[in-house]
Chain A
Amino acid sequence: MKFLWFHLMPYRELPDDFKDRHPSVWVDIHSSLFDPRRAHHMYNDFLDELEFAAECGYDAICCNEHHSNGYGLMPSPNLVAAALARRTTDTAICVLGNSLALYNPPTRVAEEFAMIDCISGGRLIAGFPVGTPMDTTFAYGTNPSQLRDRYHEAHDLVLRAWTEKETFAFNGRFNQQRYVNIWPRPIQQPHPPIWIPGAGSVETWRWAAEMDYVFCYLSYYGYKMAQNVMKGFWEEMARLGKDRNPYRAGFAQVVGVAESRQQAIDLYTGPAEYFYGRCLHVDARFAGPPGYVTEATQRAGIESQIRMAAQGRAASGPSTNASSATKMQSLARDMKGIVDNGYVIVGSPDEVVEQLRELASTLNVGQLMLLMQFGNMATDLTKYNTRLFAEKVMPKLKGLFSEWENRWWPQPMDPRQRATLPAFTPAAAE
């Protein structure tokens, strides 16, 4: 099993009454809540935390892209990845990722990812999300009716830019470039591993399978709520004749580990309630711009609701429509709800091992993304969580799925051939 340490970079100082006084953490969150001088410290703490995770032995450190978002201060994850490339040596750098349709021209993504791959010596995992409605259609103004077509076209362009040896003209529906010829080019050949964050869309699963990419389900609602989605994913893989290699799939899980379950609850209640209460407080107005969800996925969602209703039960876990997130948020009013519903895995190291084994076996996921800084968690607690997990939890799970080959992991340069980084003091060695 691979362990990827994932930072969202949430603004840590949203006010206590945020949820009552502000309609949304996303899109139209008020600028008066942002103090750049406090953000200076947050960014530096967050980068320290990511570097610390690398020192602790996580397989990868991850960042992602959000816009106008109080819980994700990374409009450009590539800036963060570049900084990390210079302060880490062997850890994979997972950018999950660049929302392709937002880049004009999309070759910008091919270029910047190639830069990160070169600087890091071939350690990049290239994530290509469509992007949330909030990021893409509202904050960035991309047309929801064209978003997916633009995404797919941009993907084709980036892939060709990485792999074609000669300058070529790209004559797309939305993008036209006479001279495509990126400098630099990626170290990893034919290109860095491509991972696709997504949700319950059958079309995305099929496409990821067809392209042989990793599908990542980035839920904030834990493995218990993810059963339906991942069951659907693996059933679709079976239909397509793909094997059950768990490394085809990634899953994000919020985790808080301590000496005992009670201590974990004491330590992580504040950050968890902050995360679910304030960070995920998104105005429902922004959940579903028309066209964002494809008609095939709408159809599947409505059919499943009708099926559930006919069987006299409510849908458990996320369906494919965006409003399901609103429903799940309503279950996360306090720490008891958060823990009982399995959104956050908390406990002693052994209890966390047990729950992650269950996660791994029920979801059949080999690329495990860990959210170990969440909400307003301070750096010292983040490092405690990160280190304890690395020392007491990771070793017991590392061997999981060792019978499978992870074909979707970076192939960096031989360490002996890589550049020597200037000296710095690794935080974990202090």
Chain B
Amino acid sequence: MSEPATTTIALNGFPTRVWRKGSGPPIGFLAGYGGLPRWVPFLDRLAETRTVIVPSLPGFPGGDRGHTVLDTHLDWVLAVRDLIDQAGLAGADLVGSSVGGSFAAEVAAIWPDRVSKLALIAPFGLFDEKDPATDPWAQKADDVAALMTHNPDVWRKLKEMPAGANSIEWPIEQTRAAEAAARIFWPLGNTRLARRLELIKAPTLILWGESDRIMPRGYAGAVAAAIEAGNRATTETRIIADAGHLAELDRPDEVAAAILGFMG
């Protein structure tokens, strides 16, 4: 696993990290809850046949304090569109997981020309009172890992402080990622994304970890139905065995293979 090339763009004035690796047609990835404090195997799988481009969301690791100037939903989606454009992803295939999945869906719905094909991994943005999503912010610190990944050690390893990291700033950066997610999705995760999904024109792959403990698996059907209600796009749904909310971390090979197969 080699390191990606890192460039920095300015998003609303905040320095924002963009990772790039591989060759071939570009494919973008917007990370899930907690963000990416380090490169992960899933991205290597995508980079085997594609140029994978990973811009950091505002407030997520690599995204500085960009969330602090985003007060409304419109602020957020405009920031993510700008991020996608600046990262060179306009018109490319786009993958989003969890929090990032919600933004990928928003961009595909509101600016259909920005997204060629779309893959959503257990996106935020919906809430069903009869089958409520788990509150990711009202958790004891030790309980979070098992909520995010099927194998809690996968999340722990992602979040573990690397040797030589700044021991003060590292934990603050991880808390900031949770705060950035809270800033747009507090308190229920419901941004009424369901109302906009029908605008999506990109063929969409919906992926869900079989043991997702954050977003109920039943939401997969709701997302697919909402997209198809617009008669603008087709969807395909895949449930990933032995995977939790961040399925791409638990099962990088399976999730990447499903995505690459779908994108063609």
Q: Which residues of A contact B176 (CB under 8 A)?
A: 290, 295
Check A189 for interface membership: any CB of B closer than 8 A. Answer: no
For the complex, what is the distance from the CA of A306 to the CA of B167, rounded to whole Å?
9
Check A302 for interface membership: any CB of B closer than 8 A. Answer: yes
For the complex, what is the distance from the CA of A207 to the CA of B171, rounded to whole Å?
26
Check A184 for interface membership: any CB of B closer than 8 A. Answer: no
Map CB proximity to B onto A290-305 as digits: 1 under 8 Å, 0 otherwise: 1100010011001100
* Cβ-defined contact, B172 with A291, below 8 A: no
**Shortest beta-carbon distance, A296 to chain B, in Å?**
10
Check B187 for interface membership: any CB of A closer than 8 A. Answer: yes
Check A173 for interface membership: any CB of B closer than 8 A. Answer: yes
Q: Which of A144, A299, A303 contacts B137 (CB 8 A)?
A: A144
* Cβ-defined contact, A285 with B138, below 8 A: yes
**Shortest beta-carbon distance, B176 to chain A, in Å?**
7
* Cβ-defined contact, B172 with A144, below 8 A: no
For the complex, what is the distance from the CA of A144 to the CA of B180, rounded to whole Å?
10
Q: Which of A174, A284, A290, A299 contacts B178 (CB 8 A)?
A: A290
Map CB proximity to A onto B68-110 as digits: 1 under 8 Å, 0 otherwise: 1001000000000000000000000000000000000000000
Known: A145-B67, A174-B71, A306-B167. A291 touches B138 (CB 8 A): no
Q: Which residues of B contact A291 (CB under 8 A)?
A: 175, 178-179, 182-183
* Cβ-defined contact, B168 with A299, below 8 A: yes
* Cβ-defined contact, B138 with A298, below 8 A: no
* Cβ-defined contact, A295 with B172, below 8 A: yes
* Cβ-defined contact, A302 with B171, below 8 A: yes
For the complex, what is the distance from the CA of A174 to the CA of B139, rounded to whole Å?
28
For the complex, what is the distance from the CA of A137 to the CA of B181, rounded to whole Å?
14
Q: Which residues of A contact B179 (CB under 8 A)?
A: 144-145, 290-291
Known: A289-B138, A290-B137, A302-B168. A141 touches B187 (CB 8 A): yes
Map CB proximity to B onto A173-195 as digits: 1 under 8 Å, 0 otherwise: 11000000000000000000000
**Shortest beta-carbon distance, A287 to chain B, in Å?**
9
**Shortest beta-carbon distance, B166 to chain A, in Å?**
10
For the complex, what is the distance from the CA of A290 to the CA of B176, rounded to whole Å?
7
For the complex, what is the distance from the CA of A137 to the CA of B176, rounded to whole Å?
16
Residue of A138, A144, A173 with highest tally of chain B CB at under 10 A: A144
* Cβ-defined contact, B172 with A298, below 8 A: yes
For the complex, what is the distance from the CA of A298 to the CA of B171, rounded to whole Å?
9
Check A286 for interface membership: any CB of B closer than 8 A. Answer: yes
* Cβ-defined contact, A141 with B168, below 8 A: no
Residue of A whose beta carbon sits closest to that of B173: A295
* Cβ-defined contact, B186 with A145, below 8 A: yes
Chain B facing A: main interface SS: helix
**Shortest beta-carbon distance, B71 to chain A, in Å?**
6
Q: Which residues of B contact A173 (CB under 8 A)?
A: 71
What size tier do the contact residues of chain B reach? 20 to 34
* Cβ-defined contact, A290 with B172, below 8 A: no
Known: A290-B179, A299-B168. A143 touches B186 (CB 8 A): yes
Check B140 for interface membership: any CB of A closer than 8 A. Answer: yes
Check A330 for interface membership: any CB of B closer than 8 A. Answer: no
Q: Which residues of A contact B139 (CB under 8 A)?
A: 285
Q: Which residues of B contact A285 (CB under 8 A)?
A: 138-140
* Cβ-defined contact, B137 with A145, below 8 A: no
Map CB proximity to B onto A276-291 as digits: 1 under 8 Å, 0 otherwise: 0000000011100111
Check A146 for interface membership: any CB of B closer than 8 A. Answer: yes
For the complex, what is the distance from the CA of A302 to the CA of B172, rounded to whole Å?
9
For the complex, what is the distance from the CA of A302 to the CA of B165, rounded to whole Å?
15
Q: Which residues of A contact B138 (CB under 8 A)?
A: 138, 285-286, 289
Q: Which residues of B contact A141 (CB under 8 A)?
A: 186-187
Query: Quick one: which of B56-75 are within 8 Å of A by CB?
Result: 65, 67-68, 71
Known: A141-B187, A144-B137. A289 touches B182 (CB 8 A): yes
**Shortest beta-carbon distance, B66 to chain A, in Å?**
12
* Cβ-defined contact, A289 with B168, below 8 A: no
**Shortest beta-carbon distance, B175 to chain A, in Å?**
5
Residue of B whose beta carbon sits closest to that of A138: B138
**Shortest beta-carbon distance, B22 to chain A, in Å?**
33
Q: Which residues of B contact A298 (CB under 8 A)?
A: 171-172, 175
**Shortest beta-carbon distance, B257 to chain A, in Å?**
34
**Shortest beta-carbon distance, A31 to chain B, in Å?**
18
Known: A284-B140, A289-B138, A306-B167. A143 touches B172 (CB 8 A): no
Q: A145-B186, A306-B167 given. 9 additional CB < 8 A pairs? A: A138-B187, A145-B180, A145-B182, A145-B183, A285-B139, A290-B175, A291-B179, A291-B183, A302-B168
Q: In the A-B complex, list the 10 residue pairs whose CB atoms are closest, starting with the nearest.
A: A291-B179, A145-B183, A290-B178, A290-B179, A143-B186, A141-B187, A285-B138, A145-B179, A302-B168, A289-B137
A-B CB contact pairs (8 Å), 6 listed: A138-B187, A284-B140, A290-B178, A290-B179, A291-B182, A302-B171
Question: Which positions in A face B, CB cutoff 8 Å?
Answer: 137-138, 141, 143-146, 173-174, 284-286, 289-291, 295, 298-299, 302-303, 306
